[in-house]
Amino acid sequence: MNLKTEKWTKRIDFFFLSAWLMTSFGTALISFLWFGVDFRGYYAAALVLLAGGNPYDYRQVAAVLLKVTGEMGNNPYYYPPWFTWLFIPLAKLPFQVARAIWMLFNLIVWNVSMFQLSKAINWPTMGWKRYSIFILSTLTFAWATLRYEQAGILVLGLFVALIFSLENQKWGQSGVWLALLLVKPNITLVVVAGVSLWLLRRGQWRPILVMMAATLGLLAISTLITPNWFKPFFEPGFGHGLTMTLDGTEIIGDTRINTTMLDWLAYLGIQSSLRVILYGIFIPVAILIFFLVILRSHSLLEVIGLSILISCAITPYALQYDYPPLAITFLWALSLPKPTPTATRISALLAGFIFYASMWNPSIASRYWMIIGLTALVIISLYFRNHSNSQEDAAHM
């Protein structure tokens, strides 16, 4: 490479780096100024806890929401008790200041996670190719989460931390990250189970024992702080916020539409009875694939990437803002060997389809096309990888 070419390469690299940073900062700024939904629920739950109340009692949370934001809305608290602790320092600040800090926190976690994830996968190569993939991933997986001020980016950060701790054989840290990942079990439970089984298969017990001890410790501390924190679970209507739109404790609106297989089938016009049958067939197939991945895979990234995809495919409750961990699946699948230009073009087309599905907006349920596209990308990528490996084995015979 001559000096002139090298200079232009550096300029192009810098342009794409700047474009990615501007894209991530811009989406965060737009989200803060014109959007924002769920931080108010986290903030109110933390205020209730600070006042000695129970964040699972929606009557207490709704009263704080009305006082702080002028409306109650649909923000009951369903996370583990210790998730509230993250927001206690923010709850001592004015609401809008706390919102800005939460948005900045998510922006930093996203950018650092993408850098670290790319390092762990060792793809794409450093420079404009890497930053262009970061731009695509930001718009596809982070944008919705930032708009709704949700916790999906935090979950991605925990997954990346888990990957590095396991690769560095820091088993105690790995157990702590596994425990903390249970903060959003509708997305992470399948993955935590998959990683745990994969570790046990390899004779490594320590992370699982640490995870169990950490979880029990967190439950014990939570019970000491709020002895009856679980009592609202047994009250009528506790879970209505998961299935219905609420405005405080008295007004129940329409059925919530989620980004799940069942809602996607309903969006396609499939009758209710047939939706249930198709979902019932899909679950055991997905479970079988899950166990095959655990038994046959030698790659931690493969186990985590495929488990996240399986989890998002079968979960009964998720929305697009829960999808940032799928960035792991996305980058891992794209990183697999592509033996021909045709294979590369097919992967690029599927990546474009996933991006389009993330932006297409006839219904929240329609965003499940992202899962369909990712599944196709994974299948095609694994096929090309295995085909490439077969050709290499034949060449050495």
For 354-369, write each residue's pLDDT tens digit: 999 999 988 999 999 9
Residues β-bridged to residue 255 = 244
CA torsion angle for 26, 28, 33, 36 (degrees, to 10)? Answer: 150
Distance CA 240, CA 339 (A): 50
Distance CA 254, CA 238 (A): 16
Tell me whether residue 377 is exposed, middle or buried, using C-beta atoms within 10 angstroms of its C-beta: 0 to 12, 13 to 18, 19 or more: buried
108 φψ region: left (φ > 0), alpha (ψ -120 to 50), beta (else): alpha
Residue 72: φ, ψ to 5°: -90, -50
pLDDT digits 0-9 by tens, 146-157: 999 999 999 999
DSSP string, 191-228: HHHHHHHHHHHTT--HHHHHHHHHHHHHHHHHHHHSTT
Q: Are 247 and 72 in contact (CB under 8 A)?
A: yes
Q: Minimal CA–CA distance to 242: which of 227, 229, 252?
A: 252
Quote the pLDDT of residue 5.
76
Distance CA 9, CA 106 (A): 31
Q: Residue 218: what residue type?
A: L
Quote the pLDDT of residue 248.
65
In the block, tokens 């001559």 appear at: 2
Quote the pLDDT of residue 41.
95
Distance of CA 331 to the CA centre of its chain: 14
**Could you give the C-alpha distances from 105 to 83, 110, 351, in angstroms and in order?**
15, 9, 27
Residues of the chain with pLDDT under 70: 1-4, 247-254, 388-397
